[in-house]
Amino acid sequence: MASVTRQLRDFMGERASDARGIVEQHGRSEAYHAAAAPDLVVFPESTQEVARIVALCGAAGLPMVAFGAGTALEGQTAAVAGGVCLDMSRMDRLVEVNAADMDCRIQPGIRRKALNAQLRDTGLFFPNDPGADASLGGMASTRASGTLAVRYGTMKDNVIALEVVTPDARVIRTASRARKTSAGYDLTRLFVGAEGTLGIITELTLKLYPVPEAISSAVCAFETLEGAVDSVIATIQAGVPIARIELLDEVMMRGVNRHAGLTYAEAPTLFYEFHGTDAGVAEQAALAQAVAREHGGQDFAWAIRPEDRSRLWLARDNTLYAAQALRPGARGFVTDVCVPISRLAECVVETKRDILATGLVAPIVGHVGDGNFHCNIMIDPDDAAELARAKAFHARLVRRAMAMGGTCTGEHGIGLGKMDFLREELGEAVDVMRLIKRALDPQGLMNPGKIFAAAAPEGTP
């Protein structure tokens, strides 16, 4: 360890640090899981530097963890085996925009807000919005999505190609810029969602979309939670090409009001956004309003001016902090599941009953247009009994979703928190994933302890 640390220091100079504050900062994230600091943090500025760092660490058998913005929710950035953290924040350039092809090349450290700010003059934008101002490399690594996924898809749909440094320090490109290909294995999607366990992403080629001619947003309160979710299902099934449709239950709306000083009705509420031409947006909005009324929705409260829309969606994006306003001093245990949309109302309503019976403060918020919702369980981190109650509720939530044909995570990833559920959901497919991991990373140095337990169960590959 000492020898390779010296080599990394010689190579990186001041861009290598083992200062206590720096390493501790890089061992934690927004997750409730225990922090775990690396031994050393390095700040590469190029693919070549990343490859050299990987080569040095590989030769010494040192674990490596890539770090973006620290917004992961399942403990993906915790350095559970120590080693070296590669902070990718200095690799934050928009490398190239191909406006005619509606794509761009970026480095992984650029954050989504900065990317869209730099794209503003092109008339194009990148749609994936997980709420947090995450890095694009981190978003690809966790297969993130967010509020606009119902219209524009998730990261797996919007990453065209990647440049990756593999565990043996090779630099590979997973695909060309072509929008379709049948050339060999789909390596792009292999690395998207791999959570840094198969390699380190050093460049992304992304799909871009035209900024809509017209955008309108609205808020609608409902009499019941079931009515709100049924309205979502009916809106999607009616073929309304809605851009965003987000659910906040009455508890979350109370937190939003407290945190942001707003005066929304504290009732189950849907946040909508419509994209298109003026005529198209008007038609979409009329259809959605009619469906909402049929399910107990009130009249839409509109936000049309850009500043009003920004205020509305900022309130939605800040739900993690709004939940904390419901219980100051508590820490968020945030989790998500995703079910087929036909089972969404049943899953949300049963989950709400479970929350009430358990006595937890756990507001519900979700990207319900694609069947994905979250519970922000606010817990006292020093109360072991309460944490146990929260974990038991979490297990019931996940198994409820899987029993309905859903998944243990719609967009947060597996990380540390859902390894057992991954095996319950996919069975022997997890063993195939292990074989891929072993083939690419035989020493197990890339973000060890994530997705899989440190050792395979007896009898597995």
Secondary structure (3-state) at 31: coil
What pLDDT is stored for residue 131 in this prediction?
82
Backbone angles phi, psi at 49, to 5 degrees: -65, -40
Exposure of 297 in the CB half-sphere (CA atoms within 13 A): 28
CATH of 214-320, one of 3.40.50.300, 3.30.540.10, 2.40.30.10, 3.30.70.2190: 3.30.70.2190
Each domain of the chain, given as residue ranges in start order, spans: 2-87, 94-210, 214-320, 327-403
DSSP symbol at 341: G
SS in 3 state form for 44-81? CCCHHHHHHHHHHHHHHCCCEEEECCCCCCCCCCCCCC
- Give the span between the Cα atoms of 86 and 165, in whole angstroms: 12
- Domain 2-87 CATH assignment equals 3.30.450.20: no
Side chain identity at residue 148, one-letter code: L
- Give the span between the Cα atoms of 431 and 423, in whole angstroms: 9
Whether 90 contacts 43, CB under 8 Å: yes
Q: Which two tokens stand for residue 423?
A: 């095996």
Measured from the Cβ of residue 127, the count of other Cβ atoms closer than 10 Å reads 24
- Give the span between the Cα atoms of 120 and 386, in whole angstroms: 46
Q: Which residues pair with 276 in a beta bridge?
A: 214
Start-to-end CA span in the chain (Å): 30
What pLDDT is stored for residue 454 in this prediction?
58
Assigned CATH for 327-403: 3.30.70.2740
Q: Do the domains spanning 2-87 and 214-320 agree at the CATH topology level?
A: no
With tokens 């979490």, the residue in question is 394
- Element at 424 (helix H, strand E): helix 419-426
Secondary structure (3-state) at 221: strand
Side chain identity at residue 126, one-letter code: F
What pLDDT is stored for residue 198 in this prediction?
98
Low-confidence ranges of the chain (pLDDT < 50): 457-458, 460-461
Residues composing the chain? 461
- Give the span between the Cα atoms of 367 and 160, in whole angstroms: 24
- Provide the whole-model pTM: 0.93
Whether 419 contacts 199, CB under 8 Å: no
Domain 94-210 -> CATH class: alpha beta
- Give the span between the Cα atoms of 63 and 361, in whole angstroms: 37
